[in-house]
Structure 1
């Protein structure tokens, strides 16, 4: 019998040895999502500053690359720790679609804020914070209500 080829599952971080499921209560999910988001924001913002100020990339290119790094970090941790969900190709594809949407939203908001805020030392972090905050709220709601209900 010939087995059909299949896509590999996404990379996983073995952060917990507990069985998967979405039975984590809302308060725990919010705390874990916030902690994960903080770590992911550090990855995102650190890389953004490096690419913007050291490498000299344009704002949108630097933000696009850092967004991918930050959201990949967030997904890998949130899947196992925040939502305790089993691996799922359907869920992974839904997360890619969500991140594609929030990518456009976050990079766009960052560019608009960067362009409209007067040049001060706090322009870059404020533009980043507004864009990141918007994407974080959107990501949590969609992941909790839709994505981590997918099997």
Structure 2
């Protein structure tokens, strides 16, 4: 299996865990009568924290400590964009369809997977991948 496919599978596995965390926290917060958007923000944040830790250490293997600060900033920006899109989609789906809120949450989460992958791969962790490739080609 090539490294791109391996990375995509790893990202998917991390994403499944993130989704479980996000959905579990969201469901709990809704159950204790937290409004939808604050519940979305908190639950998404829990999934994002897990995502950063696992993707930086396992999926994309970011190794240089001095780049972590810039990487973290880019990660936060990508995930704020994804949070905004998923929140708008969640609110819109719930208002227009009247579907179960948890199903709306799952649909909104599924809709932003590619945005998250592309942002993580190319904007957040992509520089480390390019640096490694350039170093190996210069040997």
TM-score by length of 2: 0.82
How many Å separate the matches in 1 of 2:102 and 2:12? 18
1:59 aligns with 2:39: no
Q: Could you tell me how far 1:128 is from its partner in structure 2?
A: 1.1
Q: Deviations over 1:54-90 (max 9, x none)?
A: x101111111110101111111101111111124211
Q: Could you tell me how far 1:118 is from its partner in structure 2?
A: 2.6
Aligned residues: 124
Which residue of 83, 91, 100 maps to 1:103? 83
| Long gaps (5+) in structure 2 | 129-139
- Equivalent residues of 2:37, 2:87 under 8 A apart: yes
Q: Aligned-pair RMSD on alpha carbons?
A: 1.5
Q: Deviations over 1:13-69 (max 9, x none)?
A: xxxxxxxxxxx811111111111011111110000000001x101111111110101
| Long gaps (5+) in structure 1 | 1-23
Aligned to 1:17: none
Name the structure, 1 or 2, with higher relative contact order (CA <8 Å, separation 6+). 1
- Equivalent residues of 1:90, 1:150 under 8 A apart: no
Instruction: Specify the SS of the correspondent of 1:57.
Output: coil
How many Å separate the matches in 1 of 2:101 and 2:12? 22
How many Å separate the matches in 2 of 1:79 and 1:49? 27
Which residue of 71, 84, 92 maps to 1:112? 92
Task: Return the structure number with greater helix share.
Answer: 2
Which residue of 144, 148, 151 maps to 2:121? 144
TM-score by length of 1: 0.76
Q: Could you tell me how far 1:105 is from its partner in structure 2?
A: 0.8
Aligned to 1:90: 70
Q: Could you tell me how far 1:145 is from its partner in structure 2?
A: 1.8
